[in-house]
Amino acid sequence: MSFEIIGIYAVGVCLLLGAGFALVGTIGLLKFNDSMTRLHAPTKVGTIGIGGLLLASIIHSFVYGEGSLHDLLIMAFLFVTAPISANFIAKVNIHKRSCDTPPLPPRDDTWSTLNVPEADRELATQDDTPAG
């Protein structure tokens, strides 16, 4: 088998996997009712799908051309910005209370909050006093 034949098979596999993941992400976007569950499908599955399609483009350009830097830049931009934008959209939905709020932490009201336990409040006031 030549390098071009292996490249054709690799491109075909990447295209099929990428299109399959993109299809699952699109179906999830259409089927889910809540905005938070609807957000999960395109950010996770869709990113992998578009990544597979871009990987197929990268392999094709390296096999038949001189390489493709812009596909790598698109993929890097996509993988960096998709989780950040999904986090911001989820925070907006939580703050607007347009979805179910996360459950309270069990047995601890200070976990991931700004509340300070009673035992630590005395230490916090001692640290604020100037030395000398």
Q: What is the pLDDT of residues 45-62, one digit of tens each?
A: 878 888 899 999 999 999
Q: For residue 38, is it within any domain?
A: yes
pLDDT surpassing 90 at residue 15: yes
Cβ contact 21:49 at 8 Å: yes
pLDDT at 94: 77
pLDDT at 130 over 90: no
The DSSP symbol for 130 reads P
Mean pLDDT of 97-116: 65
Residue 75 inside a domain? The answer is yes
Domain count, the chain: 1
- pLDDT higher than threshold 80 for residue 120: no
Low-confidence winner among 5-9, 38-42, 76-80 (lowest mean pLDDT):
38-42
User: Is residue 50 one of the residues assigned to a domain?
Assistant: yes
Residue type, 63: V
Whole-model pTM over 0.85: no
Name the residue range of residue 79's domain: 3-101
